[in-house]
Structures are given as structure tokens and as C-alpha cells.
Amino acid sequence: MLDLSRERRRMVDVHLSRRGIHDREILAAMREVPREVFVGPGYEEFAYEDGPLPIAEGQTISQPYIVAFMLEMAEVGPGDQVLEVGTGSGYAAAVMSRIVDHVYTIERHAPLAEDARRRFQRLGYGNIEVRIGDGTKGWPEAAPFDAIVVAASGPGAPLALQQQLDVGGRLVIPVGDDPDEQRLLKVTRTGASTYSEEDFGGVRFVPLIGEQGWREESRPATV
Ligand code: SAM
């Protein structure tokens, strides 16, 4: 296997630390997880450039800076139970699994979910469960969650996901109907039926397709 550990450390230093990611657990996890295992075949040499890359089913593995930024916003930490919607390659779930107690991750495309499961097994990451299905409905049996991270952009923050947050829990999700730019929102559950909302600026994600996302035929075009 290719040894890209130097490139990985450099990526964390140049693209994350120097650009304002300070959380030590996130930086350590991103120094540990081999992103080259998660990119599509033939893209391994680009694994440590700070950009999204294509994976199967017309989807993408997110840019490392955005993964780190979303995890920092979600304040993931040791002991947490975390839900991810949009497993994709499994990279972000793998990073979270090095920090938190347990990661539940949902992917609507079965081949992606199965590839991700195989990667977790190969790397010995035993605290991640993968489910195939519509993540906009959450994972009610495993709720409440300390953090929920959605890696695709929807019309708004799904109610089911907000309701599956523990009090004090954080939901991070890109929202908006412009295919070129969405807003990254953080919704914090402040009480049994109260929530606060913060906007962390413009991002660009593939669409969240599901019951509480876009309907396939109504989704904004992705370029
Ligand atoms: N976190 C991923 C990674 O590290 O590779 C990147 C995820 S990719 C940007 C977004 C993923 O969300 C795609 O794989 C897409 O199929 C998935 N997706 C979109 N809508 C979904 C839904 N309702 N439920 C589950 N997955 C969904």
C-alpha cells in the first residue's frame, strides 16, 4: 500500500491548522485516517489536495477542510453518539469514529454503503454502523444524538433530525435551493421543544434526496 503519511500530515498542517481548525481531536483524527483508502480508484495521488473528489454513483468525497469545519461546528467529542446522513465514501464517518464513542451513518445508495462498510472493516474501525436508506428520517432507535452531521444539502433542517437531538445536541446541515451555493446551518437543541440556529456561511454540496429533503425529480441541478 502507498505510504502517504507525510502528505497526510502536511495536508492537516497547511489546509486545516493554518486555516483556522483548532480542535486537537479533529486534527489528530485527520492525521490518522488514510483518505487515500476512501477516494475513487485512480484518485489516490490527489487524496491530500484540499478538494472534493468523485466517488461511485455520481457522488463526492467532501473536501477535507469542510469535513473538519463541520465536525468542529458540531463540537464532536469523546463519549458522543453521532449520526451522519450521507455516508458517501465513509471518510467523514471514519474521522468521527476516531474521536467519539459511536457513529451511526446512513447512505441511500447501497453500493456506497457496502463499500464504506468494507473500508471500516479493513481499517479495523469497529464503532461505526452503516444503514442503507433515507437519512432524512434519522435513526430513531439509536437516538438521542449528541451531534448530527448531514453531508448533503436539503431545503431545510429535517424535523425528524431535530427531534432526535439530545438537549444540548447540535445538527449541522447545508440548506438552500441554489445548486451553486447553500448555507451551512447549525441547529442546537436548547430545551425539550426549543432550538437555536446559527449560519456559518456559503458551501456547496450534492442534494439531500428523501422524504424530508428534495424529491428526486424536484432537486436543484448539481453541476
Ligand atoms: N461524508 C461523505 C464522505 O466523507 O465521503 C461525503 C458524502 S457526499 C458529499 C453526500 C452523500 O449523501 C452521497 O453519497 C449521497 O448519496 C448521500 N445522500 C443524499 N441524500 C441522502 C439521504 N436522504 N439519505 C442518505 N444519504 C443521502
Predicted local confidence at residue 219, as pLDDT: 62
Indicate left, alpha or beta for 36 from its phi (over 0: left) and psi (-120 to 50: alpha).
alpha
Q: To test ligand 1's pocket by mutation, which of 59, 95, 123 has the most ligand atoms within 8 angstroms of CB? A: 59
- Residues (pLDDT < 50) of the chain are 222-223
Q: Which residues pair with 186 in a beta bridge?
A: 172, 198
Give domain 4-218's CATH superfamily: Vaccinia Virus protein VP39 (3.40.50.150)
Predicted local confidence at residue 17, as pLDDT: 95
d(CA 5, CA 2): 9
d(CA 78, CA 195): 23
Predicted local confidence at residue 223, as pLDDT: 37
pLDDT tens digits for range 166-207? 999 999 999 999 989 999 999 999 999 999 999 999 999 999
The domain segmentation of the chain, as residue ranges, is: 4-218
DSSP state for residue 79 in the 8-state scheme: T
Q: Is 196 a catalytic residue?
A: no
C-alpha cell at 74: 458540531
Predicted local confidence at residue 79, as pLDDT: 98
Q: To test ligand 1's pocket by mutation, which of 39, 66, 107 has the most ligand atoms within 8 angstroms of CB? A: 107
C-alpha cell at 126: 469497529
